[in-house]
Amino acid sequence: MRLFTIGDLHLSFGVPEKPMDIFGGWKNYQQLLEENWLRLIAPEDTVVLAGDFSWGMNLQQAEADFAFVHKLPGKKILLKGNHDYWWTSKKKMEDFFTAHGFDSLHILHNNHYAFEQYGICGTRGWVSMQGEAADAKILAREVQRLAVSIQSAVKAGLEPVVFLHYPPIYGSSMNYEILEVLHQYHIQKCYYGHVHGKGHHFAFQGRYEETEMRLISSDYLQFIPELVL
């Protein structure tokens, strides 16, 4: 039983007018993802999908993308990205999964999932990038969601492993509020996505204080899920 992660699948089976292969490094990406997934991941494994899962604007448009991932081996845990416009309340998403038989899909939102002695924790996060002004309310909400997720794992006696969509550090930009939560709970591992193309060069990877950080955007990983544990 192993834990993997990958972010930014940007699937578009339900909205073919949003292809990713118009961008460099994304040719045949859905096929590559499927081939690599089948090669690496067994039914007893778990995969955390760190945001920007589907281009669908609602659950119905994203249904074909859910079906594609559901048929692949393993348990999948989804967290929100900035392009996941299909995302709604946790109950509505879980009800949709149940109604369509997507029992391998699970939502990470103000909660955690146990994996051996570890707790899978996370949220979308937030960061100011390329002049984008961070909204204080959004940031405060994401900080709280991350803390709640981590606290739920700690209360269960598990060691938290954190997954975010936005990077806590990007170039010279540092999200100190998110970093403070990682520091407060002595987080050892943090995985994040969101960053693509030339932006890979500005993604911080390595140790910041106690936390080892890794970029897991699908194009950066060449559509090969990353082994976590």
Domain locations along the chain: 3-227
Least confident of 10-14, 15-19, 131-135, 185-189: 131-135
Q: What is the pLDDT of residue 214?
A: 98
User: For the chain, what is the HEC assignment?
Assistant: CCEEEEECCCECCCCCCCCCCCCCCCCCHHHHHHHHHHHHCCCCCEEEEECCCECCCCHHHHHHHHHHHHCCCCEEEEECCCCCCCCCCHHHHHHHHHHCCCCCEEECCCCCEEECCEEEEEECCCCCCCCCCCCHHHHHHHHHHHHHHHHHHHHCCCEEEEEECCCCEECCEECHHHHHHHHHCCCCEEEECCCCHHHHHHECCEEECCEEEEECECCCCCCCCEECC
User: Is 80 exceeded by the pLDDT of residue 131?
Assistant: no
**pLDDT tens-digit readout, 24-51:** 788 999 999 999 999 999 999 999 999 9
* pLDDT tier for residue 133 given thresholds of 50, 70 and 90: low
pTM of the model: 0.95
* pLDDT tier for residue 128 given thresholds of 50, 70 and 90: low
Q: In the CATH scheme, what is the code of domain 3-227?
A: 3.60.21.10
**pLDDT tens-digit readout, 192-229:** 999 999 999 999 999 999 999 999 999 999 999 999 99
